[in-house]
Structure formats: structure tokens, C-alpha cells
Structure 1
Amino acid sequence: MQLIQQNPDIHAYLTSDEAIDHWHPLVQETADALWFATGDAYSYAKAAFEFVRDTIPHSGDSGDMRVSWRASDVIATRNGICYAKSHALVALLRAQGIPAGLCYQLLADDDGTNAVIHGLVALRLPGRESWSRVDARGNKPGVDAQFSLDVERLAFPVRPELGEIDHPELYAAPHPAALKALRHSADRSELWRNLPTAL
């Protein structure tokens, strides 16, 4: 999929902000440990993806009612929904100088109802001309997302016949609708009611 950069300056995809706080000591410590165990950009990116996918449960799967949105909090609490886990993965990638951004899909139930925005990540490794999308949401029966740069192995391939959409935009910072839902929800029940249905 061809991604449209919201900010064509590659440096925008290396910066930190309140949600993607890769300057935080816990993010730095986690990134350094993963880098030490791998040692090159590709292996590190794959390890960071698998760390977020596999060691930070999606709160919808785990039943955790807490709402985290800042990357450092996601790593500290080992909890988050797709947007929050995407913030954590982007922060870990940027902490080691790998440009990364945020992407979104509109997904629906199998009957086409209850459409909501889903968050995922795109990264650009050294020597590659294009961005690759990955989804660290967390696997479960029926969901098998993998780290794959050339052929997408996302958690949820879109089904256009149900009105699902792959939004082509690549954001350097979290989309305001996603961030608002996270920041203004006291618990996961409220978050479910606040999930954006459009960008």
C-alpha cells in the first residue's frame, strides 16, 4: 500500500511528543536492552515489534480496564489498546533512530456494523525506499500479525465489501481523534464508547 506522508520531512517521524515519549528513561532502557540483544536495525525493529505484540496484552483481550496512552505508560503497565500499543512501538523504533509513524484503518464487525478506527504502525528501515506497515495489536485465535516488510501480515486485512478502509495517510503524531478517545476515557468501558468511527 502506498502511504501518504502527512509531513514529508523524515525528521518528523523521529521526534518525540507527549504520547510518543521516547526520551523517557523506561522507553530508553527497553530500547537499549532490545538493541543489545539484536544489534542491527532490522533485527531490532522485529524484536521491538514482537515485544509490543507479545508482552503487552491488548486490554480488550486481557480484560484490563485501565486506559494507557503515553508510550512509557504502555510499557510500564503492560496494557493498552491498538492506539496505545502503536504509540509504544513507534517510541521504541524512534529511540533507536528508525523513522516510524502511525496509520489507521476503519474496521467493522462481520456483518458490516460497529465500524471503528483501528491503529497500526509504519516504519522505514535504512536502505529501504518505502514504508512498511506492521500491526502490534496482539495475536489471538483468528489474528496472526507478523513482522513482514515486503508482504503485509496485518492483524486485520480490510474487507471493502463491508465498508472497511485502509487510510493511506502516515501520521508523525497520533491522530487527534484517537488521542482524544484515550485521554478522555476513565476506563476501558468508557473508551469503547469513545472510539472514533471516522478520521
Structure 2
Amino acid sequence: MNRYLETSTYIDFDDPGVAGKAAELARSAGNEEELVRSCFLFVRDEIRHSWDFQLNPVTCKASHVLRHATGYCYAKSHLLAALLRANGIPTGLCYQRLSVNDGGPPYCLHGLNAVFLHNHGWYRIDARGNRPGICAEFHPPREALAFSIREREERDLPEIWPEPLPEVIGVLERYRDVALVFHNLPDIPLLG
């Protein structure tokens, strides 16, 4: 579990702002699930999704997401991982492969988290941000993700990564405008 508790370049909970916000969110929590819910709701509801709100700058590191209060799903998952890891909760990164236009190519990755809850084991949560037609919630052990898999080329990728995928980092660091990110969303080829 140590890999899912470490600080890193992109999950930088050693940043004073991230550490302070993690401590603030922990103060109101009476137990593990309340703490995870508090962090989840903060990132889902208070950090605006870059594309939904057409907000720059493009963020990647957890500390930058917190500072600018905006990020794509991937960046928001980095912040949620940082807040939870700062509070000693093992947290990883997960991805779905989804149709960009809800019906065939092109496809892209969607970023979310898996958190280890003592009463439930690994549990996926999606702090992407709600809007009409998208409603992600925290109701363990039942998952309530932003998107469901609806077609043959879409996938729930089973891995729980301790660090963001290079394809994701490459896009977020290469493009400085939310529209450029949207037109170059990361994807990975399906094997087999």
C-alpha cells in the first residue's frame, strides 16, 4: 500500500497549500468514510472542470489544481489523491476509455480514483464534477461514477495506478489552453 500513500511530482501533498487543505477537510470528519466523502465533495463541487467552465490555465499537479480551482478530470483526480494520501488514505488513479462524442471514435481516457476503505476494500470514486446528465456520488460500497460503459470500444480499465499515466501527463503538460487539450485528449490502444 505504500505506493498509494506517497507524495510525488503530480500528487504533491507536500505542498503547503495541499497539506493545509487536507488538514482542514480532516477536521470535520469523524471517521474514514466521512473524511473520504469530505475530500471527494470538495474536489467534485469546488474545483471546476476545465472544459465545462472553459477555464484556463491547464493544470496537472495537485497543488496547481488547488491554487487555480480548475482542472480536467485527470488533474482533479491528482488533487483528490493528494488530499486523501495526506490524510493516510491509500489512493490510486484509475481510467476509463470512453467515446468522446458518445457514439464511436474518437475515444479518450477519463480519469478517476480508487480509494482503499477498510470496510469495503478498493472503491472507485469520480470527482469529475456533476452537470446535467452526469451525477457521480459517494455511496460505498455502490459505485456511482460519472460515466458508464455503453459500447464495444469503451472500457473500465481495471488497473489502479499509483502515478498518472504518461499519456495523460504528456497532454496536460504539452497544451496550455483547454480547447487544445480537448482536441488532443489522451487515449491508449486496446490490446487484443
> Same-fold call, TM > 0.5?
yes
Maintained 8 Å contact 2:51/2:182: no
User: Could you tell me how far 1:160 is from its partner in structure 2?
Assistant: 3.1
Looking at structure 1, the residues matched to 180 and 59 of structure 2 have their Cα atoms a distance apart, in angstroms, of 13
Q: 2:113 maps to what in 1? A: 121
Q: How does 1:106-145 map to 2 (within 5 A)?
A: 106-108=97-99, 109-128=101-120, 130-145=121-136
Q: Which has the higher strand share?
A: 2
Percent of pairs identical after alignment?
41
> What 5-or-longer segments of structure 1 have no aligned partner?
1-9
Q: 1:6 maps to what in 2? A: none
In the TM superposition, structure 1's runs of 4+ consecutive aligned residues that sit over 4 Å from their partners are: none
Looking at structure 1, the residues matched to 172 and 122 of structure 2 have their Cα atoms a distance apart, in angstroms, of 26
Asked if residue 151 in structure 1 is aligned to residue 142 in structure 2, the reply is yes
| SS class of match (1:144) | coil
Q: 2:78 maps to what in 1? A: 87
| SS class of match (1:38) | coil
Q: 2:19 maps to what in 1? A: 28
Asked if residue 60 in structure 1 is aligned to residue 69 in structure 2, the reply is no
Q: Which residue among 5, 8, 11 is the counterpart of 1:14?
A: 5
* TM-score, reference length from structure 1: 0.91
- The letter for the 1-side match of 2:156 is D
Q: 1:195 maps to what in 2? A: 185
Looking at structure 2, the residues matched to 196 and 127 of structure 1 have their Cα atoms a distance apart, in angstroms, of 34
* TM-score, reference length from structure 2: 0.94
Maintained 8 Å contact 1:58/1:81: yes
Looking at structure 1, the residues matched to 141 and 31 of structure 2 have their Cα atoms a distance apart, in angstroms, of 18
User: Could you tell me how far 1:127 is from its partner in structure 2?
Assistant: 4.4
- The letter for the 1-side match of 2:111 is G
Aligned-CA RMSD value: 1.2
Number of residue equivalences: 188
> What 5-or-longer segments of structure 2 have no aligned partner?
none
Greater shift, 32-41 or 131-140, is seen at: 32-41
Distance 1:16 1:178, change over 3 A: same
Maintained 8 Å contact 1:52/1:136: yes
